Structure 1
Amino acid sequence: MDVNAKTIKQYRLVKGWTQQHLAEICGVSLRTIQRVERYGTASNDTAMGIASAFETDISQIINLASTKEERPKSNNKLQHYWLVVVSLLIGMMLGAGLTLILN
């Protein structure tokens, strides 16, 4: 499984843990943690152990770059644009309504 090595290392450093400490919590060898942080690959069990050690969901440490190709592409910019337009229109209507009510 592809994992985000930088995220795992960052979580570990924030907690002030050594690689050895993380390995002990996960029940794996030091070498396994070294490989995870260097190459970004881990078995499912190791990835689940790491996520558990950091008390986070596994989705926070897996590398989504490899799964993006499998997902249908959506036009996020267009969706964002329409969200902004609709929000502005609603805001303008509420503002106009309040102005009429208060005057």
Structure 2
Amino acid sequence: MEIRGDIVKQLRNERAWTQAHLAELCDVNLRTIQRVENQGSASLETIMALCVSFDIKRQALFKVPEASDVEQAKPQLTKAYLLVFLFGLIIGVAGTFIPFVFLNT
């Protein structure tokens, strides 16, 4: 399941726990905690162990990003979509006219 690894890291740092300590509390491998924090990937059992260790509800690990975070990411995506669209348009126009020019010569 996908969870917010940054929240797990924040909760762990607030308690001044190491990743190894959290892994021991959750009875999982250290690599599992690293994967949770870096990739946000965790099994249901790991999520439940994290909730017990932090004494939180499961929903806290699925927190939705703030609106300001989403707005900051939007302009970058818009520019990328525009570039892909323009590139596709150029390729499409070139693909239409180049064979036409060569066939009529």
- For residues 19 and 29 of structure 1, what CA distance do their matches in structure 2 show? 10
TM value normalised by structure 1: 0.60
Q: Please show how residues 14-93 of structure 1 align to structure 2 within 5 Å.
A: 14-62=14-62
Report deviation, 1:35. 0.4
Contact 1:8 1:37 in 2 (8 A): yes
User: How well do the aligned residues superpose, as a CA RMSD in angstroms?
Assistant: 1.3
Structure with the largest fraction of helix: 2
Aligned residues: 65
Q: Structure 1 stretches (4+) deviating beyond 3 angstroms?
A: none
Aligned to 2:12: 12
Give secondary structure in 1 for the equivalent of 2:52.
Answer: helix
Q: Which runs of 5+ in 2 are unaligned?
A: 66-105
Gaps of 5+ in 1: 66-103
What amino acid does structure 1 have at the position aligned with 2:40? G
Give the SS at the match of 2:28: coil
* CA distance in structure 2 between the aligned counterparts of 1:21 and 1:63, rounded to whole angstroms: 24
Q: Distance in 2 between matches of 1:63 and 1:4?
A: 7
The separation in 1 between residues aligned to 2:39 and 2:10, in whole angstroms, is: 15
Report if aligned partners of 1:2, 1:63 keep a CA contact under 8 Å in 2: no
Aligned letter for 1:13? N
Q: 1:24 corresponds to which letter in structure 2? A: E
Aligned sequence identity (%): 42
Give SS of 2:41's match: coil
Equivalent AA in structure 2 for residue 31 of structure 1: R
TM-score by length of 2: 0.59
Task: Determine which structure has more spread, i.e. the larger CA radius of gyration.
Answer: 2
Shift of 1:46: 0.2
Deviation at 1:63, TM superposition (A): 5.4
